[in-house]
Structure 1
Amino acid sequence: MKNFLIINGHQKYGSSEGRLNQTLVDSMVSLLHENNRVKTTTLQKGYSVEEEQKKFVWADTIIYQTPIYWFSVPGLLKTYMDEVYAYGLFFKGGDQYGRGGLLTNKTYMLSTTWNAPEKAFNDPTQFFKGDDLEGALGHLHRVQEFLGMHPLKSFACYDVIKNPNIDKYVTELHAHLKNVLKF
């Protein structure tokens, strides 16, 4: 039995109410709850920094469910990281920059929703200049690496505004989780 922390990083933006990200969180909870312990945080509802730090210490795997706004996480998720990732608890200074992470026994997964179509990735003639999903999320991976955590393969839902397909996203997420978590 493993401990999972799922963070819903959605922040209301324009007409985006966050239903897709909440659906994906609910789907993960349903899938993982059977044989594991699961805690969640929905940033839009508020949080206690101390409680969140305790959840990180408790968790074996942290899953960030977040939309990508302007090629990064919403401001609310960035603020959460700034407030929760504490020196001395999550990282410390070291001889080499970026090698003082204290969460070395933990894994994480980025599960993201994009308005970008899937074809915008992995093609040097498209917007991301040939970067795959992991490359486009590289800056977010650096944050987790700084804390010492180890990545699981990221997941993405593409084209979520122009061509939403909720059933497809949930089915693909379940298959992805079963693959990367080996169950």
Structure 2
Amino acid sequence: MKKVFLINGSQPYAFAPGKLNAALIKKAQDFFLDRGFEVKTTVAHEPYEVPAEVEKFKWADYVIVQMPINWMGTPWLFKKYIDEVFMAGLMGEMSNGDGRSAEAPKKNYGLGGKMTGKYMLSVTANAPKEAFNNPEEKYFAGASEDDVLLPMHLNLKWFGYQALPTFMAYDVMKNPEIENDFERFEAHLKSVFG
């Protein structure tokens, strides 16, 4: 039986309480349970025990991170979660350090991961789809969604995880299309996980 770890990395604010990210986590949970997966979840802005979180990463075949992009990065409470849990798993549990050796101190940086699973990023953003992959748009200057998410990709790659295709819900505050996002998310999960 395949095992999936779902992480809700949202940060509640008065103007954005995290309902969409919670709904996407619930849809993912239902999707995987309906297909016979074992599922564990974490809400990063709620209390957690670091050793238990490390065990969830070690247990899972798949890790799915659901989060909004906040100021082109992870929400600060999710960043705190990453710092605490990944530092606890850094030596021995999830990796052998940074991958370099005394024999080759300049090679293989970031390749010490022990994890063999895969991960998927699922992200909500206020930017419209048209802002990405378009050199005529001045802000991102042609950058893709995954370019913007590079630090999160590198965090998971550090531990040996392999990336699955990213999902993004666009323009969620100014021009939301939530029902369409839910349909696209379901189709994305079916495409990636069967």
Give the TM-score, by structure 2 length. Answer: 0.90
Is 1:107 aligned with 2:118? yes
Secondary structure of the corresponding residue to residue 45 of structure 1: coil
> Counterpart of 1:38 in structure 2: which amino acid?
V
Q: Which residue of 1 aligns with 2:161?
A: 149
> Counterpart of 1:61 in structure 2: which amino acid?
Y
Within a 5 Å distance, the mapping from 1:120-139 to structure 2 comes to 120-126=131-137, 127-139=139-151
Give deviations 1:5-39, integer Å, cap 9, x for gaps.
00000111341111000000001111111121111
Residue 177 of structure 2, aligned match among 161, 165, 168: 165
Gaps of 5+ in 2: 101-107
> Counterpart of 2:140 in structure 1: which amino acid?
F
Superposed CA RMSD in Å reads 1.1
Is 1:38 aligned with 2:39? yes
Q: Runs ≥4 in structure 1, deviation > 6 angstroms?
A: none
Q: Which residue of 2 aligns with 1:67?
A: 68
Alpha-carbon distance in structure 2 between the residues aligned to 1:13 and 1:97: 37
Alpha-carbon distance in structure 1 between the residues aligned to 2:83 and 2:114: 16
Secondary structure of the corresponding residue to residue 119 of structure 2: strand
What is the Cα deviation at residue 166 of structure 1? 1.7
What is the Cα deviation at residue 92 of structure 1? 1.7
> Counterpart of 1:91 in structure 2: which amino acid?
S
Structure index of larger Rg? 2
Give the TM-score, by structure 1 length. Answer: 0.95
Alpha-carbon distance in structure 2 between the residues aligned to 1:14 and 1:140: 25
Within a 5 Å distance, the mapping from 1:10-89 to structure 2 comes to 10-34=10-34, 35-85=36-86, 86-87=89-90, 88-89=92-93
Residue 92 of structure 1, aligned match among 87, 96, 101: 96
Secondary structure of the corresponding residue to residue 58 of structure 2: helix
> Counterpart of 2:32 in structure 1: which amino acid?
L
Give identity over the alignment, percent.
Answer: 40
Q: Which residue of 1 aligns with 2:105?
A: none
Secondary structure of the corresponding residue to residue 77 of structure 1: helix
Secondary structure of the corresponding residue to residue 45 of structure 2: helix
Tell whether the 8 Å contact from 2:45 to 2:78 is kept in structure 1 after alignment.
no
- Number of equivalent positions: 181
